[in-house]
Homo-oligomer: A and B are copies of this chain.
Amino acid sequence: MARSLRTLSDLGESALIRRIARRAGRPAREWLVGIGDDAAILRPGRDEDLVFSTDVRVEGVHFRFGRESPRVIGRSALAVNLSDLAAMGAEPVGTLLSLCAPGEMTVEVFDGMVAGFVDEARRFACPLVGGNLSRAESCNLTVTVIGRCARGRALRRSGLRVGDVLYVTGLLGAAALARLRADREGGALRRVPTPRLEAGRALAALPGTRACIDLSDGLTSDLGQLLTGSTHGVEVEFDALPTPRGFSAACRKLGLDPAWVQTAAGEDYELLFVLDPKRAELDPARLSARLGVPVARIGQVVGRPGIRGLPPLEGGHHF
């Protein structure tokens, strides 16, 4: 009992960093220095580009201690960042974790978050090589991921052409439904997104992949991102969206509009990708086999700007 009641203030920063370093272990040899110096040192390979992304999980916004376990919070913090590497077609190289927490947090909760983070890091061969700890009134985990891809092969969001075909991996709406159900019914949220790293790397290696983005804010919003800076638009076949079994009934039982949950509630962390029909394999079944994940064709790029075929986004100012 006494053990679980120790707080972060009782241990102090140095002891907490040692605790993290012990769990994290030694990174691969390309990391000349990991945790414990002013900075981590990487010796990049030749003929590769490096990609960098950062994202934060904020207590009360992205997670709640009453809803998710510390382990799920730690795992998710890395998973959503790895999803950005997947969307670039990149392979993980390493990660930095900046953790803010109140001094009154128990060491048990801290250890749980670190264990979840490090487990996920091992699973996807993305060693924790550095970071930062700071006191704050509430908790947040800011993660930076570093990835690599073959020189010039990273998947961008740009370059769309009329006639290009849109696909998504996996199922849309399941993650948002699980979260909304936990909120309404007060249950635990155990779901952690699976970053589609293998599918992303396969897409980067296939001919005819025009663009790719990961679905974090919801299909409609992320299609908007994909179209930023383009004069084109997209036509989505709403009925073609890959939908979890019993999805509509489950949404309605909670008083939710299934179309809204599926296209606007976000957090799918699936890949939305665009193929050039002249060069790419277009058959969803054969694509699924290559990507190692179910794939659905959901629409195409058209000359007229805007997004058609999806319910309009209400509000739209997400901050």
Residues of A participating in the B interface, judged by any CB pair closer than 8 Å: 8-14, 16, 32-33, 36-44, 46, 48-56, 58, 60-62, 84-85, 87-88, 90, 94, 96, 98, 100, 103, 129-138, 140, 142, 144-147, 151, 154, 156-158, 212-214, 224-225, 228-229, 316-319
Contact = CB atoms under 8 A, between A and B. Distances in A.
Given A12-B317, A154-B33, A132 B41 contact: no
Nearest to A315: B12
A9 B319 contact: yes
10 contacts: A12-B319, A38-B214, A39-B85, A40-B51, A52-B96, A54-B96, A54-B98, A61-B135, A132-B142, A142-B142
Which of A54, A61, A84, A100 has the most chain B CB atoms inside 10 A of its CB?
A54
A98 B140 CA distance: 11
A96 B46 CA distance: 24
Contact of A130 (B52, B213, B214): B52
A269 to B, nearest CB: 12
Nearest to A16: B319
Given A12-B317, A98-B54, A319-B11, A49 B40 contact: no
A142 B154 CA distance: 26
Q: How many copies does the complex hold?
A: 2
B87 A38 contact: yes
A89 to B, nearest CB: 10
Contacts of A133: 319
